[in-house]
Structure 1
Amino acid sequence: MIGTMEYADILDHSEIVSNMVLKSDVMESYQDARKALNENAEAQKLITAFNDIKEQHEEVQRFGRYHPDYNEIMKKVRSTKREMDMNEKVAEFKIAERNLQKMLDEISEYIAFSVNNDIKAPKDGAALTDVGCGHGGKCGCSAS
C-alpha cells in the first residue's frame, strides 16, 4: 500500500509542477509567439514554401548527388530556410521555443539529479537530438 500512496503523491506533485510550467512567463511567451506566428500571413507563406521545398529535398536525397536537380534543390532549400528564419515572427517563435525547452530541460535535470547524479537528463535540448547522454559531456560522450 505504501508504494501506491507514494506513487499517488508523486503524481500529485508532478501535476503541481506541470501547472506551474503552464502558468509560467516562459510558457506565456511561447504561446504568444506561437499565436503571432500562426496569425502572420507572411510567416505562414514562408513556412509553406519551406515545407514544399523540403519535400523536394527528401526526394533528391534518395539519389544524393546523382540526382539531376541536386545542386539546384540544395540551394533552394538553404535560401528558403534562410528567408523563413529571417522573418521576425519565425525568429521570435524559435527564441520562445528554445527558452521553453531550456526550462523543461532544467526541470528534468533537477528532478533526475535530486534522485541520483548518475541519472541521465536532457541538457541543452539534447532530448530532441541524438547527441550525448544528458550529462553534459561529463562521461566523455560528445554532448559538449
Structure 2
Amino acid sequence: MLATLERIALLEQAESLAKMVLESDIAEQYRISLYKMKNSKESQQKIERFSRMKELYEEVQRFGQYHPDYKKVMKQVREYKREMDLDPYIADFKLAENDLQTLLDEISVLIVGAVSHNIKVPTGNPFFDTGHGSGCGSGGSCGCG
C-alpha cells in the first residue's frame, strides 16, 4: 500500500512538472512559432518541395554517383534545404524547438542525476552526456566488473 501511495505521489509530481513545462515561456514560444510556420503558405510550400526532393535524393543514394540524375538531385536538394533553412518562420520554429529540447534535456539530466550518475540519459547533446552515461554500455568504468 505504501508503494502505491508513493507511486501516486510521484505521478502527481510528474504531472505538475509537465504542466510547468507546458506553461513555460519556452513552450509558448514553440507553439507560437509552430503555428506561424504551419500557417505560412510559403513555408509549407518550401517544406513540401524539400520533402519531395528528399525522397528523390534517397532514391538516388541507392545507386550513388552511377544514377543518371545524381549531380542534379544532389545540387537541387542542397538548394531546397538552404531555401527552407533561410525561411524566417522555419528558422524561428527550429530555434524554438531546440530551446524546448534543451529544457527537456536539462530536466532529464537533473532527474537522472538525483537517482544515480550511472544511468544513461540519451540527450543527443554532448554537453549533457558528460558526467552521465558512464555505465557498462558506454565504455566508461562502472565498477561492476
TM-score range, shorter chain: 0.7 to 0.9
* 8 Å Cα contact 1:84/1:90 also seen in 2: yes
| Counterparts of 2:56 and 2:73, CA distance in 1 | 7
Moved over 6 A (4+): none
- Do the aligned partners of residues 60 and 36 (structure 1) sit closer, same or farther apart at CA in structure 2, a change above 3 Å counting? same
Q: Which runs of 5+ in 2 are unaligned?
A: 139-145
* 8 Å Cα contact 2:38/2:44 also seen in 1: yes
| Counterparts of 2:79 and 2:68, CA distance in 1 | 19
Secondary structure of residue in 1 paired with 2:129: coil
Q: Does 1:21 align with 2:21?
A: yes
Q: C-alpha displacement at 1:81, in angstroms?
A: 0.2
| Counterparts of 1:7 and 1:64, CA distance in 2 | 53
Q: TM-score, normalised by structure 1?
A: 0.86
Secondary structure of residue in 2 paired with 1:62: helix
Q: Does 1:8 align with 2:8?
A: yes
| Counterparts of 1:14 and 1:44, CA distance in 2 | 35
Q: C-alpha displacement at 1:35, in angstroms?
A: 0.2
Partner of 2:130: 136
* 8 Å Cα contact 1:108/1:122 also seen in 2: no
| Counterparts of 1:106 and 1:16, CA distance in 2 | 17
Q: Which runs of 5+ in 1 are unaligned?
A: none
Count of aligned positions: 134
Larger Rg: 2
| Counterparts of 2:44 and 2:114, CA distance in 1 | 42
* 8 Å Cα contact 2:37/2:44 also seen in 1: yes
* 8 Å Cα contact 2:117/2:131 also seen in 1: no
Q: C-alpha displacement at 1:137, in angstroms?
A: 7.3
> What are the residue-to-residue correspondences of 1:27-106 with 2, within 5 Å?
27-106=27-106
Partner of 1:108: 108
